Structure 1
Amino acid sequence: MEIQRLFLSLTSLLLCLFIFFPHSTAAAPVGICYGRVANNLPPPSNAVNLIKSNGITTVRLFNTDPETLTAFSGSGISLMIGIPNEILPSLANGPVDASLQWLQSNLFAHIPPNQIRYIAIGNEILLRDTFYSPYIVPAMQNMHKALQTLNLADTIKLSSAHAASILSNSYPPSAGAFDPNFLPVMIPLLQFLRDTQSPLMVNVYPYFSYVNNPQYVSLDSVLFRSTNIENDQNLGYDNVFDMTVDAFAYAMEREGFGGIPVVVTETGWPTGGGAAASPENALAYNGNVVRRALENVGTPKRPGVGVEVFLFDLFDENEKDGEEFEKHFGVFGVDGVKAYGLNFS
């Protein structure tokens, strides 16, 4: 009886502490992409110092360059590391031991496992490199078994980054649906993500929505300054970012996979080279993305659940293909000076 009274007293005390000191939810992580398609970049060690001095704690790397990984080793910076598309067939078709050897040789020989948050199996394959589509999930499965062997499957999450265009419909958000041509890949992928408690990774660029459809998409709606609220399923939307993220949430629900988190693995705004590309607009867009993540604003469909984001890009990349604006997403100049006054905290 005395033990029971003690238990009840402790329970009451904990309840009071919970009431007066409510649990505070940590802010959604805000990272930055470190693209290296350029011939004028500073050494990786300089980039790491720049990243740390600006309070950035999470970085996306697009490959496993040993010099870059070594520069990050011991820095305390958490990494999302990409496996290039062309490597997927060998990982998918080989035994688990091949994936284990790949991890040991290409990652853990250069960076400690506790710095790796995510491994992205390919990037925008369904948009750019459809040849590799059949290899995404088998490569993931082998890699997951290899991580299980190393007791790392709970701390290093696997996914694959996709372009927003894998949706055949994204407006209104509640009509969000995956392109039927991609469902043979997406269904097993979503099953894997649910089974392993991993996020769906998507690259979201409202800037592209604006420049490709200026007659339908207003500049205000992509820069988070619209006063026009669009209602959808009793939810109000005033910006394209929220619409796109929620369209993915609805698309997953449509296939029976509700509840999988969405991580935005690329988003950003160019400072030049295209319509509405300027430092001022880049600050307006990225500043709002950062603020909303840090304040756990979430989206209309998932309010209060901050969206983890990786801003694109650390530096301009002067050797990028495509439109001129593709080369001008850098938040910093190669001299380390900010292109505009963006704060990460």
Structure 2
Amino acid sequence: MATGAALWLYLLCHVLLAVAAAAAAADDRGKSGICHGRVGGNLPPPATAAALLRQNGVTKARLFLPDPAVLQAFAAAGIDLTVGVPNENLTFLAASGPEGAARWLRSAVLAHAPAERLRCLAVGNEVLYGDTFYAPHLVPAMMNLHAALAAMGLEGRVKVSSAHSSSVLAASYPPSAGAFGPAALPVLRPMLRFLADTGAPFMLNTYPFISYVNDPANVPLAYALFGAGAAPVQDGALAYTNLFDATVDALVAALEKEGFGGVPVAVTETGWPTAGHPAATPQNAAAYNAEIVGRAARGVGTPRRPGVPVEVFLFDMYDEDGKPGAEFERHFGIFRADGSKAYDINFA
């Protein structure tokens, strides 16, 4: 009898732990993270940035590279990290096998932040956009890093994925017509198999603001901005009132066409600038980002995946005066360098 009771208690504890872990994971998906870009000349120290995030209820951050000082400060503040693996590291990681990937992981990341703070490795950023030199090395690098994590006992705890520009979609209108570009499929198909096998998300960088700027005749401002007056786009039985949902669902449709409809989606960059264009105002940035935060917290999902939370990272923590390109590229900051908010937004 004692043995049976002990076994029952053991099983009950494991069930409760599993339920608690699932609830924590669901709650975590409902919290928006913030990207911490570093291409600026007047950025506050990492410890100041980490404290500012915690003061505002933000517990997740995306780092674009494994900067030791940032890793240390953010980990010490209890912030969960999605850490970027720079494109220039992909050739080495692809060729060095799991052992070389493990050496890189230990020296570049785990020497500066404990494993319990590491949630995901974003291997490469927009590798399939523009210069595709690194494309053949992307999936082998991801596999080697995953194997290294598995050897360390971190398989399942730390996901491995790669962030893609929304231009990876050759078709996105209407959303149900979403499809990947043929040139990217030799890389994407084995990657999708890897993501499905490991439970990792497909990472998407998407900016409705840039879509509006590039094509204002066909992308109304209200549709890009979650505006109440946006005319809906009807796609069969589904109606879309904003470009964010439409883009995510175009990606979902593309995943389904390739036979990987179960792969989750995470939006690893989205945001709205405050200057550099007539539509780039603090008021519009507040409206867009507040809607993103609220939708993530409510777990509303998208028309094609209702009720399925989309993890989101807002870009960017600070303005980055060293960013190239159009003037608005330098004005995505949610916070000013002195720690004040560029506009009113609540992350709690």
TM over 0.5: yes
1:56-71 aligned at under 5 Å gives the runs 56-71=58-73
The range that moved more, 243-252 or 120-129, is 120-129
CA RMSD of aligned residues (A): 1.5
* Identical aligned residues as a percent: 53
Output the CA distance in 1 between the equivalents of 2:123 and 2:83: 9
State the match for 2:269 in structure 1.
Answer: 266
| Structure 2 letter corresponding to 1:257 | F
Which amino acid in 2 is paired with 1:72? Answer: F
Q: Provide the C-alpha distance between the structure 2 equivalents of 1:229 and 1:271, rounded to a whole number of angstroms.
A: 26
Q: Does 1:217 align with 2:184?
A: no
Distance 1:72 1:112 in 2: 11
TM-superposed deviation, 1:233 = 2.5
**1:252 to 2:287 alignment:** no
Match of 2:232 among 229, 251, 254: 229
What is the CA-CA distance between 1:259 and the residue it aligns to? 1.3
Q: Output the TM-score relative to the length of structure 1.
A: 0.92
**In structure 1, distance between residues paired with 2:46 and 2:263:** 34
Q: Which residue of 2 aligns with 1:87?
A: 89
> Are 2:201 and 1:196 equivalent residues in the alignment?
no
Aligned to 2:148: 146
Deviations 1:266-319 (A, max 9, x none): 000000001300000000100100000101111000111121100000000000
1:134 maps to which of 133, 136, 160: 136
- 5+ residue gaps, structure 1, are 8-22
1:85–1:129 CA contact under 8 A, matched in 2: no
TM-score, normalised to structure 2, is 0.91
CA distance in 2, matches of 1:306, 1:73: 25
Question: Partner letter of residue 308 of structure 1?
Answer: E
State the one-letter code of the partner of 1:165: S
Equivalent in the alignment of 2:112: 110
Deviates more, 1:228-237 or 1:164-173: 228-237
Instruction: Report the counterpart of residue 295 of structure 2 in structure 1.
Output: 292
- Please state how far the C-alpha of 1:175 moved relative to its aligned partner: 0.2
Q: How far is the alpha carbon of 1:114 from its aligned partner?
A: 0.6
Choose 141-150 or 66-75, whichever is displaced more.
66-75
Whether the aligned pair in 1 keeps the contact of 2:318 and 2:335 (CA below 8 Å) is yes
Instruction: Please tell me the residue identity of whatever aligns with 1:285.
Output: Y
- Of 145-154 and 72-81, deviating more is 72-81
Name structure 2 gaps, 5 residues minimum. 9-22
Other structure's SS at 1:126 match: coil
Identify which of 331, 335, 342 aligns with 1:332. 335
Inter-partner Cα distance in structure 2 for 1:96 and 1:117: 19
CA contact (8 A) 1:84 1:122 kept: yes
Taking the aligned partners of 1:253 and 1:103, their CA distance within structure 2 comes to 33
